[in-house]
Amino acid sequence: MNKIVFATNNANKLREAAEILAPLGIEVISQREAGADCEPEENGVTFAENAMIKAKAVFDIVKIPVFADDSGLCVDALDGRPGVYSARYAPKGQECAKLLDEMKDIPDDKRNASFQCVIAYVDENSSFTVNGACLGKIGYEEKGENGFGYDPVFVCGEKTMAEMTAEEKNAVSHRGAALTALYKMLAKG
C-alpha cells in the first residue's frame, strides 16, 4: 500500500496522521483529494460506530484503503459529556467557553477528563478499529496557541494540549495513540 485515505478534510488531523504514518512510506490524503465529497451522517452512539460509518462511506466511493476517526472529550464530572457529541456540543469556536462555564463550580479533584479516539480502517478485504486515550483534567481558563477544539482547556501534565509542540502532543494525544496503534497494524501487513 502506498496511499491511504483519511476520511476527513480537517487539515490539522491530516497533518497529524501524515506525521505519524510517514515512516511506513504511505502517503496520507484527504477524502476530498481522493474524490470523496461526502458527509456521512454520524448517527452512531459510540466513537467506534461513527468512525466505521465514515470509513465505509468513503471506501465505497474511492475503493482504496481508508481510515476514519471519531474522537471526543469525556468529562467525568459531566457523566462523560460531551463524548460523541463533542463536535456538536457548542457552536464552533465556543466549545471551550461552554465547557468552562459548565465546570465553573467543579473542584480541582473532580475535573478529571479524557480525550478518546477510535480509528476505523476499511479496505477491500478487512475492517478493524483501534483506539487511544489521553488522560488529563479540565483547566480553569484557555491557554496556548497550538492545537484546536478543546486543546486550550485540556491539561495533560503541566501544560494544556494547546501549549504543547506538535511532537509533544503526538507523544501523548488520544489521536496520536490511536494512530500509533493503526501504524502497528499496517506495519504487520
Task: Yes or no: say if 14 and 69 are a contact pair by the CB < 8 Å rule.
Answer: no
Place of cell 487539515: 11
Q: What is the pLDDT of residues 43-85, one digit of tens each?
A: 999 999 999 999 999 999 999 999 999 999 999 999 999 999 9
Q: How far apart are CA 66 and CA 121, in angstroms?
A: 6
- Rg, C-alpha atoms of the chain: 16
Residue range 85-111: mean pLDDT, rounded? 94
Q: Report the catalytic residues.
A: 70
CA trace torsion 9, 10, 11, 12 (10° rounding): -160
Domains delineated in the chain: 3-188 (3.90.950.10)
Residues near 109 by Cβ (< 8 Å), separated by ≥ 6? none
CA trace torsion 106, 107, 108, 110 (10° rounding): -70
Q: What is the pLDDT of residues 109-133, one digit of tens each?
A: 999 999 999 999 999 999 999 999 9
Say which range, 98-107, 125-134, 170-179, has the weakest mean pLDDT: 170-179
Using CA atoms, how far residue 48 sits from 12, 35, 37, 90, in Å, is: 21, 24, 22, 22
Q: How far apart are CA 180 and CA 189, in angstroms?
A: 15
What's the per-residue H, E or C state across 57-81? Answer: HHHHHHCCCEEEEEEEEEEHHHCCC
